Amino acid sequence: MTIEYSADVGGIIAEMLANEGQHVDVEKPFIAYAANQDEYNAYFDSKREALMDEARFQAAQESLEHAKKSESEAERVSSAVTPMVMLRHIKHLIQKKEIDAESDFAKKLQALARAGDKSITEIFEASFDGISFNEDTFDNKFFLENAKAIVNSSS
């Protein structure tokens, strides 16, 4: 049913809250009006503030989601690097003669890796690209240079 309505007050139509032909529940507003230009301007100022608040809220939500995603990716990397993964790669470096198997450095590095030393694990994680360990993308030089500094400082 369509009902025509004549306003019994004067003013300015600020906004149509329902489209023509749209069903509107009884007592639900279908138009916003302002008594004068100042009220009209105030109405839109408040809507602008609400939109800005919504945009700030949305930006905060996106920032939080990004932080959670980054944290989740960091957890996946950390969980992928175990002492066994590090020990296997150290063994590979020994086989490739990049580390002398009989050196104090090799023995201490293996002991730190076996213990899951936080500093060695962090250097190991920083030595490869991506989420999981891959020997093709592992930077042996970076790892060995930094591992030597850690081993020497732990002596």
Per residue in 39-55, pLDDT tens?
888 888 888 888 888 88
Task: Express each pLDDT in 95-118 by its tens digit.
Answer: 999 999 999 999 999 999 999 999
* Domain C-terminal end among 52, 72, 92: 72
End of a domain among 24, 45, 72? 72
Nearest-5° angle of CA 53, CA 57, CA 63?
145
Cβ within 8 Å of residue 140, ≥6 positions away: 93, 98, 127
Domain match, 36 and 62 both: yes
Specify if 7 maps to a domain: no
Determine the structural domain holding residue 45 and report its residue range: 12-72
Which region, left, alpha or beta, applies to residue 116 given φ > 0 means left and ψ of -120 to 50 means alpha?
Answer: left
Low-confidence ranges of the chain (pLDDT < 70): 1-3, 5, 71-80, 130-133, 155
The tally of domains found in the chain comes to 2
SS3 call for 15: strand
Residue 5 β-bridge partners: none
DSSP 8-state secondary structure symbol assigned to residue 10: -
- Domain assignment present for residue 132? The answer is yes
CB 134 within 8 A of CB 92: no
- DSSP state for residue 33 in the 8-state scheme: E
